[in-house]
Structure 1
Amino acid sequence: MTGGWRDFGTVETIYEEDSEDLSNSSSPLSPTTSISVILSLERSVEAWSKATGLEADILVHVHGRCFHLHKEPLTSKSHSIKRQLTVPNFKTVHLPSCIALETFALVGCFCYNMEVVITPFNVVPLRVAAELLEMDDVSDVERNLRHITETYFSQAVAVNGEYANVVLHQCLGLLPEAEETAFLASRCIESLAVIGCVDGVSNGLIDGVKSMTFDEFHLVANSMKGRFTRNHDLLYKVVDLFLKEHSCNLTEEQKNRICCAVDCNKLSQHLLMDAVQNPEMPLRFVIRAMLVEQLNTRHTFDIASIDPTSKPQNNCATLGAILQRDAAVRYNAQLKATMEATSARIISLEHELISMKKRLHESGNKSEVLDSTKSASCRFSWEVNKGDMGMKAATSPPMERARSITTPRTGKSFSQKLMSGLKNAFWTAKANVLNANLD
């Protein structure tokens, strides 16, 4: 009976949005296209009935609408529908809510052997439907919708930045309800990053990350973690971009949940250092990055301590030699930086010393002026005072004067010189008072 349908020769192509004008459309199917697809499915059901002589025998419910279809074409390509219809007298099929009406109409056309044109606007919902309905019959590639969508993604989306951006937004429209799309979204991000490295186009990646919510990005980041088993450099860059765009709207716990997807042990050394100094990263992640960086440094120096004269025995020894050389380069760079900092400090200290010498020289000049003034005062007192008390008082200034003269030789400080001058002035004033009383 199936052969009669194939001999009937009814083939119809379902065309979606014009792929040349991707920027002017935001929905996978326009209302006109949706009606066209549904009408095509209905015509396919009628053609099947005429070709096989069988009436529609199952009922499929999709978002409030019922389709009367045939069991054989659907169960031949969907293991999920086949399991539902194995129950006796069970002729009603309920689909997951994430499969839209238009998407099922395309799936139905595919089951009835109609040609379905895959585009960036429908590849994601068709791929999700293929996953949920288990349309992955490996015995016949042409009947495997999952294989068809995967082939289109690999050959068209992964190498075209504009397509990848459109598909990424289609994925986000189905998250977080359809978690299967997180896998495709992560692949779109990877494609945009790779394409950006080649031709400098990175706006698609930035825009894609901006339009994500926390729940969406959390699913995508975890998907990328599962895919990138050896290197997390790209994942770290994407996480960093998301945090920079949404940091003010995220809690510390949400940041930690996102950063948990990044394994610091799988980061390149320069990105590990960037993570340690990145103010956008949560404290818990920064500490984890610091510990890993310290362990890597210790491991590198442990390898560098191996006898350099030993001959390499295998690839590991060769790798050790490379790491030893890298450690030596880093050590020389650190030593050079330390020497430059020390040299700058020495120059600063020399400037300070010169300034101190200059101030001491100026202080010495002031003290010499004060000494000369003090000596003149003492000589004046010696000539004026004639009495016994005057003689007693007059004997002191020459002694003090002699002491002040020898001060530079004994190395007295300026404060000591100042105190000596004050004492001399005190004795001079006291002697004058006594002389006045005697007169």
Structure 2
Amino acid sequence: MDLHHHSLTLAKSSRHRYNEWIFRDVPSDITIEVNGVAFALHKFPLVSRSGRIRKLVSENRESAISRVELLSLPGGPETFELAAKFCYGINFEITPSNVAQLSCVSEYLEMNENFSNKNLRSRTDEYLNHIVYQNLEMSLLVLQQCENLLPLADELNIVTRCIDAIVSKACAEQIASSFSRLEYSSSGRLNMSRQKCESDWWVKDLSVLRIDMFQRVITAMKCRGVRPESIGESLMNYAEKELTKKSNDQPKDHERLVVETIVSLLPVEKLVVPLSFLFGLLRSSIMLDCMVGCRLDLERRIGSQLDMVTLDDLLIPSFRHASDTLFDVDTVHRILVSKLVDNYLAEIAPDVNLKLSKFVAVAESLPAHARTVHDGLYRSIDVYLKAHEGLSEQDKKKLCKLIDFQKLSPEAGAHAAQNERLPLQSIVQVLYIEQLRLRNTLYCSELGDNPKPQLHHQSWRINSGALSAAMSPKDNYASLRRENRELKLELARLRMRLNDLEKEHVFMKRNMEKSNSRKFMSSFSKKISQFNLFGRSYSRGSTSPSGHSHRTDSKVTVRTE
């Protein structure tokens, strides 16, 4: 009864609204129904602007169609009412709150230039391009509106353009902030001020997004070089907002998705987020029964920072119904024991009298799933190889099979790629993994819109630590080293852009010291706003960074001609 009463109320409200602007002296000859709300309108104004309604009327000309039901219309009755007003030549305002809906409904109703000049589609595109995409806050608001307009908003490229605008403005503000912290030392050298960088004002604003949109924005930011600290802070804000709600407000599946997504978005750099936050995510992942990979990733990150762990961090409650213990001993055991075993191996490895079989036995005493990161194991094996130079190539291969090179950190991988003590086959494998990482980095830097590139390499595959290929190991080694050098040169080229910006800043700052005129200060400000690290042109529509974001609701009055 309540739902029926609500529908009747909505219908009466809509009918009352459009009765205020509809032609009262001309009888209606067509009724448009949208989500149960009926609009008594006239064919001529509608067919003059809407290609979809024109086709429906022309296809049913003989039956004199008088009622049309529009199924799955984007934005519902309220958006259709605005589109109908546009057809009737009635003015209304386009705002960030309705432009996405209007753009989608114009596509649905085919209100484009093929049927009428300056139609609704071109008006919304103009508003998006000249107003929304020039401002971070407006782009964020429109992106939020797109959540209920998928997949059409994605097909119209609104989502991608909003994300690109948000990331571009965030990058531009961080670059300007970095230059403002540059100062000359007593020796005349240019250094970065040690003053702590203020938190980006947009970090908390991202938490209004749905998890899938939030993931796309953060992924694009990581690819475009936004500071890891800002990304980490944004992840913590989002987790606090979504995971501290009452259990009745959010289903467990949603919370599980949030935890798994946040873990996948964590920056690779250490100390970007507090260790307590990682333990909080680990507790949540256990309680929500997240994927094994998610929990192991957290254990790996925590294991690499064990020197900072406190007793309270390790007291993880047991959330398993079948468990007899109060605390999750298995998880802590994996974190602590793997570190302990690897440290022990590193201590005994220099012993020249230690036989290979005993060293391998100790290394294999730890189950494969318990060692989530292989940096410690690699270090121990490297020490053993250094102390036992007389090992045969076969023994070296046997030893290196213990290492899963895909579980090495970027730093350990870079060391292994140049480690001549490793067998050639292992170096080739490390170079191959390094090449994948380099390609992904370059791909994301140049094509930030596609956060997860799919790279297909059919000539070889990695399986259980062994590399199979059509080419010989020596040929693979030479080829990979050459390709990796080229990829590193490409990364160096990207870094040179930042150096060029720094030189430009030094030049302008020296000129500024010579000239105190306001005219130069004005030109300097304009120059800063045009700095471009990623090959894109940043407009100055974004609001200034401050403790609070001042939202604007820019409006454009649509006038039909």
The interval holding the TM-score normalised by the smaller chain is 0.3 to 0.5
More helix, by proportion: 1
Mark the structure with the bigger radius of gyration: 1
